[in-house]
């Protein structure tokens, strides 16, 4: 049986891992390779590196740290940030990334999803979605979220975008619920479940993890394939080994590291 | 020991190379018949589509080289799928080193395609290639197509239905999962492949 994945997310800026609350006020969390190996040793199933400065500044990721991380890691990792064409995606994959995740560039030019899927297969193509509940009760997407001053509200409904990206060739969707991001009060189960209902590819929950129970809820109530978290792991509030032992005790299939 | 890593445009070329480095092996990137024939071990990695890698192998004129190879050959992911006769992915004729056809995984409630993540391995028979890998060990998979668990299946995996995770016949072997990203289990498979006596 396929296990549920625990995925620490490392927001990368200028060669360091950083973390902010509600996407603001970034604090230095440590070196990239050092944190990547720590999580590997603790039993992380996969890592995601978000180059959070890339999209707002219209530049792409720096491949040197990527090659270093790839040489050290024997678990899969995904890279997001500033990938806006097939050539850049190829360079990132050749530097050792197993998957590429696109967010703002896919919103700007949806055909990019198809181009990437055709070039590398859908299994390499992750679409990240930043979503927020608006005053009228609808979830809608945000772009350029790496920098709060550049963030744009789009008229596109999150559920419509989820449906569209799957048709275009997304092999996995990471749904980041911005209302709950960084505040550790739990994943947005209602929104995740609504997306799950129309999402046939793997779905990863993001935003809000603060305790074991939050992971249990995401897997049991929203049936997500993986759960991504950052600050709860960076701060040491939750250790991955202990989290997995608790999930296993609840009958949730997770990998023994 | 000369290990050739076939450069057919597979995007995991770099990570397979680094996994071999971690085992103390320095592979040679190869895209010509002579260096592939001169190697003691040949690895065909692949993150791409079956059609894309086959097109590249034809362009490089490597199809017959791989078909007539004497040294142990290991296909990884799409590289394993190409060992079979045919892939349903874009209706692609493959190398035909193993009997059978690669088919798309069928989605079902709770069974998502692509099959992405860590799943348990089920040994069907013993092999030097899978020594040290136990029933229920996890490996990392990322794929939408797979070969049925036929007569040459050594390790099977279940996702909706049963498929081949590792196949082997004579000098030809393949892993559907990614040994370069499957932690201890993956390193063990690569080490076994390098060290096994042909």
pLDDT digits (tens, 9 = 90+) for B82-113: 999 999 999 999 999 999 999 999 999 889 99
* Domain hosting residue B153, numbered range: 3-195
Residue A146 reports pLDDT greater than 90? no
CA B6, chain centre distance (Å): 12
Q: Does the CA dihedral B74-B80-B86-B89 come out positive or negative?
A: negative
pLDDT band at A65 (very low <50, low <70, confident <90, very high): confident
In which band, very low, low, confident or very high, does the pLDDT at A188 lie, cut at 50, 70 and 90? very high
Of A157, A207, A204, which Cα lies nearest the Cα of A179? A207
Lowest mean pLDDT among A27-31, A230-234, B60-64, B66-70: A27-31
- Flag whether residue B86 sits within 8 Å of chain A, measured between CB atoms: no
Q: Give the gap in angstroms from C-alpha A134 to the nearest C-alpha of chain B.
A: 30
DSSP state of B128: G
pLDDT over 70 for what percent of chain A? Answer: 94
* Long-range pairs of B59-64 with CB within 8 A, sequence gap ≥ 24: B60/B8, B60/B31, B60/B32, B61/B33, B62/B6, B62/B8, B62/B31, B62/B32, B62/B33, B62/B36, B63/B95
Which DSSP state fits B148?
Answer: B
Asked if pLDDT for residue A61 goes beyond 70, the answer is no
Residues of chain B with pLDDT under 70: 10-11, 47, 198
Q: The CATH number of the domain where B167 resides is what?
A: 3.40.50.880
Q: What ipTM score was computed for the predicted complex, to two decimals?
A: 0.92
What's the rounded Cα separation, in Å, for the pair B194 and A134? 57
Across the interface, of B143, B158, B181, the residue whose CB is closest to A123 is B143
pLDDT for residue B8: 84
Q: How many CB atoms lie within 10 A of CB A44?
A: 25
Q: Number of structural domains, chain B?
A: 1
Instruction: Output the pLDDT for position B10.
Output: 66
Q: Which residues of A touch B (CB under 8 A)?
A: 1-5, 40, 45-46, 67, 70-71, 73-76, 90, 93-96, 98-99, 118-124, 171-172, 200-202, 223, 225-226, 255-257
- CB-CB neighbours of B14 under 10 Å: 22
In the predicted model, what is the mean pLDDT of residues A105-114?
Answer: 97
Whole-number pLDDT of residue A25: 64
3-state DSSP call for residue B61?
A: coil
pLDDT > 90? residue A250: yes
> For A21-30, A121-130, B60-69, which range has the lowest pLDDT when averaged over its residues?
A21-30
Residues of B recognised as catalytic: 77, 178, 180
pLDDT at A97 over 70: yes
Cα separation values, A175 from A98, A207, A227, Å: 19, 8, 10
- Spatial distance between the Cα atoms of A181 and A189, rounded to a whole number of angstroms: 13
Crossing angle for the helix pair B183-195 and B13-22, to the nearest 10 degrees: 80
- Which of A123, A195, A227 is the best substitution to test chain B (most B C-beta atoms within 10 A)? A123
Question: What does the pLDDT read at residue A241?
Answer: 97
pLDDT of residue A94: 83
pLDDT at position B55, please? Answer: 92
In this complex, is the C-beta atom of B159 within 8 Å of any C-beta atom belonging to chain A? yes
The answer to whether residues A106 and A113 touch, using CB atoms and an 8 Å cutoff, is yes
- pLDDT for position A223: 98
Cβ of A1 within 8 Å of Cβ of B120? The answer is yes
């Amino acid at each position: 049986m396929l296990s549920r994945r625990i995925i620490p997310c490392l927001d990368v800026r200028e060669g360091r891992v950083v973390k902010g609350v509600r996407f603001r006020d970034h604090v230095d969390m440590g070196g990239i390779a050092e944190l990547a190996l720590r999580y590997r040793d603790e039993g992380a199933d996969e890592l995601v590196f978000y180059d959070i400065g890339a999209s707002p500044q219209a530049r792409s990721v720096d491949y040197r740290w990527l090659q270093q991380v790839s040489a050290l890691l024997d678990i899969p990792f995904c890279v997001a940030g500033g990938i806006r064409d097939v050539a850049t995606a190829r360079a990132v994959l050749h530097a050792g990334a197993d998957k590429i995740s696109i967010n703002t560039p896919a919103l700007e030019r949806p055909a990019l999803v198809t181009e990437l899927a055709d070039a590398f297969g859908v299994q390499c193509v992750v679409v990240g979605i930043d979503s927020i509940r608006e005053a009228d009760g609808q979830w809608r997407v945000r772009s350029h979220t790496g920098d709060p001053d550049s963030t744009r509200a789009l008229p596109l409904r999150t559920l419509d975008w989820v449906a569209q990206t799957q048709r275009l060739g997304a092999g996995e969707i990471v749904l980041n619920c911005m209302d709950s991001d960084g505040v550790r009060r739990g994943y947005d189960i209602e929104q995740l479940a609504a997306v799950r209902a129309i999402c046939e590819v793997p779905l990863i929950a993001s935003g809000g993890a603060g305790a074991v129970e939050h992971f249990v809820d995401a897997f049991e109530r929203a049936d997500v394939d993986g759960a991504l978290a950052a600050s709860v792991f960076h701060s040491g509030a939750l250790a991955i080994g202990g989290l997995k032992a608790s999930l296993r005790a609840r009958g949730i299939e997770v990998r023994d590291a | 020991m000369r290990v050739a890593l076939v450069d057919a445009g597979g995007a995991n070329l770099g990570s397979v190379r680094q996994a071999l480095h971690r085992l103390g092996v320095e592979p040679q990137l190869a895209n010509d018949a002579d260096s592939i024939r001169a190697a003691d071990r040949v690895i065909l990695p692949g993150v791409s589509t079956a059609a894309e890698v086959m097109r590249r192998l034809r362009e490089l004129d490597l199809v017959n080289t791989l078909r007539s190879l004497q040294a142990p050959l290991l296909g990884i992911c799409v590289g394993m799928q190409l060992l079979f006769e045919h892939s349903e992915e874009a209706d692609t004729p493959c190398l035909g080193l193993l009997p059978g056809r690669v088919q798309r995984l069928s989605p079902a409630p709770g069974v998502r395609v692509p099959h992405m993540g860590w799943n348990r391995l089920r040994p069907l028979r013993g092999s030097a290639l899978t020594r040290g890998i136990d029933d229920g060990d996890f490996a990392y998979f990322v794929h939408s197509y797979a070969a049925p668990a036929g007569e040459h299946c050594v390790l099977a995996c279940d996702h909706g239905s049963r498929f081949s995770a590792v196949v082997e016949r004579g000098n030809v072997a393949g892993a559907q999962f990614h040994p370069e990203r499957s932690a201890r289990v993956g390193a063990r498979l690569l080490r076994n492949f390098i060290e096994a006596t042909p």
